[in-house]
Amino acid sequence: MNYQIIYKAANSYEAHFIKGLLERYSIESKLLGGNLSVGIGELPIDVLQVDILVPKNQIEKSRNIISDYENNLLSNKNKGNWACPSCKEMNPLSFEICWNCK
Ligand SMILES: [Zn+2]
Phi, psi (rounded to 5 degrees) for 91: -125, 145
Q: What is the pLDDT of residue 90?
A: 83
Q: What is the pTM of this model?
A: 0.61
Of all residues in the chain, the percent with pLDDT exceeding 90 is 35
Expressed in angstroms and rounded, the spacing between residue 61 Cα and the centre of ligand 1 is 26
Give the Å distance between the CA of 74 and the centre of ligand 1: 16
| 97 CA from centroid of ligand 1 (Å) | 8
Report how far ligand 1's centroid is from the alpha carbon of 29 (Å): 22
Taking only the tens place, the pLDDT of each residue in 31-70 is 888 655 444 555 555 556 888 999 999 999 999 999 998 8
Residue 52: closest CA among 91, 13, 101:
13
Fold of the domain spanning 3-92: Alpha-Beta Plaits (3.30.70)
Domain ranges of the chain: 3-92
- Residue 77 Cα distances to 20, 43, 73, 74, 92, angstroms: 22, 27, 6, 5, 9
What residues pair up with 81 in beta bridges, in sequence order? 92
Arithmetic mean of pLDDT, 22-33: 93
What is the CB neighbour count within 10 angstroms for residue 45?
A: 13
Beta bridge partners of 33: 50
